Each structure stands twice: as structure tokens, then as C-alpha cells.
Structure 1
Amino acid sequence: MNPAFDAAAIRARAEVAITVALKAGREAARFRRDSNPGTLAVENKGLQDFVTIADRKTEQAIRDGLLLRFPGDMFMGEESGGRSGEGGTWVVDPIDGTTNYIRGFRHWAVSIAFVAGGKVEIGVVYDATEDKVFHAIRGGGAFKDGVPVHAAATADPANALVILGHSRKTSFDDHLALSKRLHERGMDYRRTGAAAIDLVRVAEGAADLYYERHLNAWDMLAGALIAEEAGAIVAMPAVDRLLTDGGPVIAHSPGLSGEFAFILDIEGL
């Protein structure tokens, strides 16, 4: 536990974050259901990198909900920016998987992490596919709507299901080579386009691996903690580096550590 925050302070923040994530996620889902395509006011930030009015409205609602209760905390959001501080910082992606959200493909999430002392202390992910909330507090296990979840016990690569993300900031040839290598080992694989969702799929044992070579901190931190607390093996750069530069993340079921060790070598993790 971070010395600046005792167990009660962390628990209080987690309870608020769960409530805020559920409310914000449901409101974003309702807004998408009720909107005409033009109402979403889609803006293009880059190739296949979009932002909508829903992203901004959802982030503002999350900011207000968290900082109203904890006004001394810092806030870093994908859309509004911000910075981390020496105390605690909320790191938020209001809609992870915006392209999915725009198109009505329900693999998107609200991702809320709380970072203190260079560690992720709280992770909360609203899963729009099931209208449920995953959460974890460091050292306390991982939960889906309050029920414990656990990484899969898969040990045979021929039974493995993996999820691979891909960023346009990294080599597509490398992505294809990795896909080929896993395919040759008998693994089935997916790409869904929402890192927070992919990480909680590893946490609940629905997938055996999630790997992406470059993500921003708000995409991964909450889901990574949830996966780790569910018993998955998680590797990523130091949190302080991720907050400034982003980076890779790998989360996998422990029985397949030998299968995925080469990825750690590639990334130097």
C-alpha cells in the first residue's frame, strides 16, 4: 500500500470509481443508442483514431464525479490531458475503443486507474458488452460485479486463445510475424480493438494472452492491474514511463509462460 494512502482511503476511492464508471458507461451506451450517426460529431485525430462528443462528455462526467469527492487528486484523461502528481492521479480513458463505439460494435470500455507512488493502486473497467464492472485494488484480488475472477489454467498452446492488439505506431510486419508464430503453435487469435476489454478477458479466463506493442497509459493501466490481481502474468514498463511515453503490455495465463517468453525478450521487459 502506498504510504500516502491507507487502506480506507484506497477503498473509498475504489468504491467511488466503480459507481462513476458504471454511471458514465451506461450514459455513453444510452447516448450511442439514441444518437443519429451525425449527432456523434466524429473528429479524426489520425488514421483510425477518432474522438466523439461522447468521449468528451463521458470524460467530463468522470472527472467531475471523482474530483468532487477527492478534490486533492490529480486527473489525466485521454481527451482533456492533465498530468500526474506526487500524490494520487486518476488516469482515465472515457471510451476505450472509440472506433468500435462509433460503429455500434459493443467491444468498448470505460477505463479508470488510480496511480500513487509509481504504482497502480486501483483499476476499474466498465465492460459495455455485458454492462458489468471489473475492478481490482492492489493486493486484493480481481472482481466482476463483485464476484472474483481468475486467469485461465490453460497449459497446452493448442487450447490457447490469444488477443493481439496493433498500433499504427509500430510495425505491421512484426505484428504479422507474431501472428504467424502463434498460429504455428496451434493458438487461435483475435483482434477486438479495445485494450481495456482485452485485458479483462485475460483476467476472467476467456483469453490466455493479450499483447500490444504500444499503448497509452490510459488504455492499459486499469486492465493490467485487474489481470494481475486475477493471477495473470503481466509485464509492462514502469508506470512513470508509461504516463509520459506509453509502451507495450503483455498479460497472459501463468501456465503458458514458456510460450510467451520470447515476447518479453522482444520488448526487453
Structure 2
Amino acid sequence: MNCAFDAAAIRARAEVAITIALEVGRETARFRRDTNPGTLAVENKGLQDFVTVADRKAEQAIRDGLLSHFPHDTFMGEESGGCPGGAGTWVVDPIDGTTNYIRGFRHWGVSIAFVTVGRIEIGVVYDAAEDKVFHAIRGGGAFKGGRPIHAAATADPANALAILGHSRKTSFDDHLALSKRLHERGMDYRRMGAAAIDLVRVAEGAADLYYERHLNAWDMLAGALIAKEAGATVAMPPVDRLLADGGPVVAHSPGLADEFAFILDIEGLPPVSG
């Protein structure tokens, strides 16, 4: 870790991020309840991406909250952009699962990660469905509402539940082929549309696999750390590459490592260590 961030400095940042995620998540849920979805200002941003008034409002609240406490940190958000720099960077998706949010499908969340010298030090995810915050500090375990969580002990693929993401930037034929393979192995699978929440489902043992071929850094970093700290096997490109270009992520129950090794081979990814 960069010597500028000792354990106390990281803990202080985590505590602030947890508070902000809960406050902004609840306010964003309230905004959705109180606003007629037909009046939400929606702008087309191209492939699968659109932004709402709620997105912008939530990101500004997160940015203001974090930087008021830690003014020398840098900020990188889905809506406002930004570049990693300095000693540490906050990487934020104010509403992960925007389509779900707009339609009233409560599988969405707020994702906040803190990254320094190529490592994810903090992951915080607000889960709208349960009104709970998941969090992890590197090396310190994973928690949901302050209680420890652990990846599932599933070892039989016939008992496994997988969640698959799909971006229009990647091949749908490949997605179908993977779905077929899981089906043939007796696994049930879902596509839910919110990577941060899908990753914490693996972390808490509700699912045994999450895989998507391409995500942006703000979609995956917080959830990936939480899953890893919960004992899941996590594989993804180096953090610096994800910050620049995005990429794939795989998280799965450790007892199914042999079952899902082919996905890591497809992506050429080793499990994350350290």
C-alpha cells in the first residue's frame, strides 16, 4: 500500500463511503418512488448506456460527500468522468442497473471503490432490494450491514446458480454458447442487469458465479473486492487496465473452481491475488 494510506486512513475512508452509500442509495430510491417515471429526463448515450436526472444527482452527492472529507483524493465517476491520479482515486457508479431503476425493478445499487497504486483498497455497494450496504477493506473480510458474509460452499454443479451479464459490445453468440454449457451441466442461471449487485450476490453465497465479458471499472471494482474478501475466486485484468479500458470479470464459489476454469481460460485471466 502507498505509505500515504495507513490502515487508519483506509478505515476512515471506508466509514465515510459506507455512510454516503446508504444516504445516497436511500435518497435515490425515494426519488424513484416520488417521481413519475414518465417524467424522468432520459438522454440516449449509445450502447446500453443512458443517464437520468437521478444518476447525476446521486453522483454529485457522492462526489461532494467524499471530497469534502478527503479533498486530496481524485474522483472518477460514470457520469462526470475523471481520471485516476494522485495517491488514491474514488471510482463510482451512482446507479448501477439504471434500466432496472427506471422500470422499478429493484435490482440496482450504488457502487463506490477506492483504488491506490493499482489495488482496490475499499469496496462499498448499496443494495436497493434489501436497503443494506455491503463493504470490504482489502485483507479485512466482507460484510453486509456490518455482519460477515462468505461465498457459498457449493461443490456440485447441479446445485449451482449462475448470474451472467452481457454487453452489446460483446458477442451474443458467445453468451448463448456459455448459457448452453451451463444448462447442460445442470446449472440454473439468470441475467439481472446490475454487475455490482450480481457480484455481492456471489459474495453472500446467494449465487455461485458472476461473469461478464466487458464492464467498465466503476461497474465492477467495489463488488469484485467484496466477493474476493468473502472467499470467492475472482479474476479480472489489472486495475490500471480496467480504469483505462474496462474488461471482463469472473467471480465464483471456490468449490466450483474446476467447473468454471474454462471461463478463466477463455479470458486468459489468473485469479486475483494479494
TM range (shorter): over 0.9
Q: CA deviation at 1:86?
A: 3.2
CA separation in 1, counterparts of 2:201 and 2:171? Answer: 25
* Mapped contact 1:86–1:117 kept (Cα < 8 A): no
By how many angstroms is 1:116 displaced?
0.4
**Aligned position for 2:163:** 163
Gaps of 5+ in 1: none
Query: How many Å apart are 1:8 and its aligned residue?
Result: 0.3
Q: Matched residues in 2 for 1:169 and 1:2: separation? A: 35
Structure 1 position 153 matched with structure 2 position 138: no
Q: Where do 1:50-199 residues align within 5 Å? A: 50-199=50-199
Once residues 124 and 186 of structure 2 are traced to their aligned partners in structure 1, the CA distance between those partners, rounded to angstroms, is 33
Q: Specify the alignment match of 1:27 in structure 2.
A: 27
Amino acid paired to 2:153:
A
Alignment of structure 1 residues 33-52 onto 2, 5 Å = 33-52=33-52
Q: 1:15 matched to which residue of 2? A: 15
Partner in structure 2 of residue 252 of structure 1: 252
Partners of 2:77 and 2:178 in 1: CA distance: 31
Name the amino acid aligned to 2:56: R
TM-score (norm 2): 0.97
Give the drift of 1:72: 0.1
Distance 1:86 1:253 in 2: 35
3-state SS of 2:90 partner: strand
Note the aligned Cα RMSD (angstroms): 0.7
Distance 1:231 1:40 in 2: 40
- 1:2 Cα shift? 3.5
TM-score relative to the length of structure 1: 0.99
SS at match of 2:210: strand
Q: Percent identity?
A: 87
Aligned-partner Cα distance in 2 for 1:145–1:2: 28
Cα separation, 2, equivalents of 1:223 and 1:51: 21
**For the residues of structure 2 that align with 1:192 and 1:206, how far apart are their CA atoms?**
13
Amino acid at match of 1:131: D
Give 5+ residue unaligned stretches, structure 2: 270-274
Deviation at 1:255, TM superposition (A): 0.1
SS of 2:75 mapped into structure 1:
strand
Task: Confirm or deny: 8 A CA contact 2:100 2:193 kept in the other structure.
Answer: yes
Cα shift readout 1:234-266 (whole Å, capped 9, x = no counterpart): 000000000000000000000000000000110
- Write the deviation string for residues 210-248 of structure 1: whole angstroms up to 9, x where unpaired: 000000000000000000000000000000000000000
Contact 1:74–1:85 under 8 Å retained in 2: yes
The whole-number CA distance in structure 2 between the counterparts of 1:160 and 1:98 is: 27
**Distance in 2 (alpha carbons) for counterparts of 1:162 and 1:69:** 39
